Amino acid sequence: MTTNTTPRVERDATAGSHDENHGDVTLGDATTTTKRVGGGLLDPKMLLHSIPDAVKKLDPRTLWHNPVMFVVEVGAVWSTVLAVAEPSWFGWLTVGWLWLTVIFANLAEAVAEGRGKAQADSLRRAKADTVARRLVGWAPSVPGTEEEVAAPLLRQGDVVVVEAGQVIPGDGDVVEGIASVDESAITGESAPVIRESGGDRSAVTGGTTVLSDRIVVKITQKPGESFIDRMIALVEGANRQKTPNEIALNILLAALTLIFVFAVATLQPLAIFSKGNNPGVPDSLALNGDGISGIVMVALLVCLIPTTIGALLSAIGIAGMDRLVQRNVLAMSGRAVEAAGDVNVLLLDKTGTITLGNRQAGAFLQLDGVTPERFADAAQLSSLADETPEGRSIVVFAKERFGLRARAASELVDAQWIEFTAATRMSGVDLGDGHQLRKGAAASVADWVRANGGTVPPELGAIVDEVSSAGGTPLVVGELRDGTARALGVIHLKDVVKPGMRERFDEMRRMGIRTVMITGDNPLTAKAIADEAGVDDFLAEATPEDKLALIKREQEGGKLVAMTGDGTNDAPALAQADVGVAMNTGTSAAKEAGNMVDLDSDPTKLIEIVEIGKQLLITRGALTTFSIANDIAKYFAIIPALFVTLFPGLDLLNVMRLHSPQSAILSAVIFNAVVIIALIPLSLKGVRYTPSSASKLLSRNLYVYGLGGIIAPFIGIKLIDLVVQLIPGMS
């Protein structure tokens, strides 16, 4: 603990940790880090802007990456040729809705990418052309010579100087000086942050602005690989690689599509054979002597293959990345987002993540013969010049619990403030007239009391041991007054667990995630904090090697591990973890090692990242379930419509009592297209995630999206049929 020579006479009514990026926020609240929430609902203006992009995606060279929609486009082209050869209301309406199905599918992806492009435009403005002041021949003791160069020409290892009012030309580390930096262009936060050479808060980002002082920055980025460059590429979807689960689902959808292609193809010889054996059955638009008409075969195929999830799959992945960007998290790949959804173990630093970051006064424990008011007054006086968070918390605790006002400067004009040193391990104040107060380590204050002729009662040692065993830090207050020295009592400093953390960890437990607290504290203190916070396990007196060994041990057991870090010593563990979230305030080594970077530098956000990953997986699973389930209703619409003239008994399957075979087929095609548009908002926003077991999530998926996927088409197709039957030629 360190103190200043000037007392702090006016103090805030609250004490605690102040996060330099957030200010005072309600920690533990999942919404505190969300600033640019896009929601995910369709914005009509963005929808209009996305339509041209959706049309451009009709290019087969682009669409072939999506096998399901590529088959739909091929079918639409073939149907168009057939409609030109044999025009009819039914043919042209079916062809029109087949093309709309493809466009709606492209529109889902275009809208998701459009949201990212809007963010990319704002990032490009932050990457405006900047002139850098490069230092040639610079060394810690050599100023070097200055030259002006365009920021894009900077190379890794170059050294630049940036002064107040100037834009930092590239990503790097501060190697000299300290400055206040405005990072709002990147993080969205208006509050400036401090960046200084040495330590774990030396990293700066290109495009941010220095507000005060002067710093020398060593560029760590390669050309075109700055944070802004990578963010632009990611939010636009240009570098979005498909994740393993997404690739597996694409293979499944392609296989289902191939199966239905063969299934529909086998219906043609069956129809020709059946029609040949029933020459008295009149021809129709759907079925004639040549079998099933080509347009109807395409309509049947499109309605039976999983077009809904095929259309929305890419949008779901892009939206997952977008939700991270909205929370100021830069994911290096979609694989990291997906891995977050499958995480089994969370490694969380105690300080700043589980606790507020600085120990706070939690209790005043006075000795026998000392009134609580007297001890509180002595504790406050001895801490007035202590500018550490611990010292401020003691002053505030005395003020709030005992109503003691902060002293005015005039009352303390003769006071001599004693600074804390490593040798004395205590600080305090000499108030004049021989009145002295000391606060510090128990042994040091006890020695001071004895040196001034006083005695230390045995109960002091018992109170100190009790505080230590509870995981707290005991500070003893001693007094010399009227020639008599004595110990007054003990200040209990304790780590304050952030509000709501126990509830968050309970949620993690319900999700099947094991939480492990990492701390440098001794095992006794670590256990006390772990019990209070509600984590499942803890690693005390942790070293970088211990963290790395713990991650490897968990991974060898088949677990996926996520962790946060900000220092160079965290880099090995971040690189080893399946999800490594580096703080933007951390070192370049940490940011390069992790596969995500939190631009807000909020360690608690790791919990939100896991929830976003799970929401991505749940959304994909829910819409896949819905897509496959709603095909069942289309069987009841189309199959009876095709063969009811040949096999009148199939009319029993026409449970929707559709108007005619033509209206039934067209209604199914229209519903198949419209449902894609209806589900775009859900694919972008994501299915609401509530922590629960895997079995409960599966049950909810089956009941809501499975059963809903069966029921919704019956209602939708019937309503569309009521409108379609009014069209000429549908009787």
Q: What is the DSSP string of 86-146?
A: S--HHHHHHHHHHHHHHHHHHHHHHHHHHHHHHHHHHHHHHT---EEEEEET-BTTB--EE
Q: Check the annotation: does 473 bind a ligand.
A: no
Q: Check the annotation: does 425 bind a ligand.
A: yes
Could you give the residue numbers annotated as active site?
349
Q: What is the rounded CA–CA span in Å between residue 629 and residue 708?
A: 8
Whether the CB-CB separation of 729 and 284 falls below 8 Å is answered with no
Q: Give the position of tokens 């293979």.
A: 251
Q: Residue 611: CA atoms inside 13 Å, Cβ hemisphere, count?
A: 21
Q: Where are the alpha helices (DSSP H) in 644-729?
A: 661-685, 694-700, 707-724
Instruction: Tell me how many degrees the CA angle 159-162-164 measures, rounded to the nearest 5.
Output: 170
The whole-angstrom distance between residue 208's C-alpha and the CA centroid of its chain comes to 22
Q: Check the annotation: does 426 bind a ligand.
A: yes
Q: What is the rounded CA–CA span in Å between residue 393 and residue 398?
A: 9
Written in H, E and C, the secondary structure of 518-552 is ECCCCHHHHHHHHHHHCCCEEECCCCHHHHHHHHH
Whether the CB-CB separation of 363 and 492 falls below 8 Å is answered with yes
Q: What is the rounded CA–CA span in Å between residue 570 and residue 22?
A: 23
Q: Check the annotation: does 12 bind a ligand.
A: no
Q: Check the annotation: does 422 bind a ligand.
A: yes
Q: Check the annotation: does 494 bind a ligand.
A: no
CA atoms 390, 396, 397, 402: torsion sign: positive
- Computed on alpha carbons and rounded to an integer, the radius of gyration of the chain in Å comes to 34
Q: Check the annotation: does 421 bind a ligand.
A: yes
Q: Give the position of tokens 């920690």.
A: 27
Q: Check the annotation: does 596 bind a ligand.
A: no
Q: Check the annotation: does 578 bind a ligand.
A: no
Q: Where are the alpha helices (DSSP H) in 25-85?
A: 44-56, 60-63, 67-85
Specify binding-site residues for Mg(2+).
Answer: 566, 570
Specify binding-site residues.
Answer: 386, 390, 420-427, 439, 566, 570
Specify binding-site residues for ATP.
Answer: 386, 390, 420-427, 439
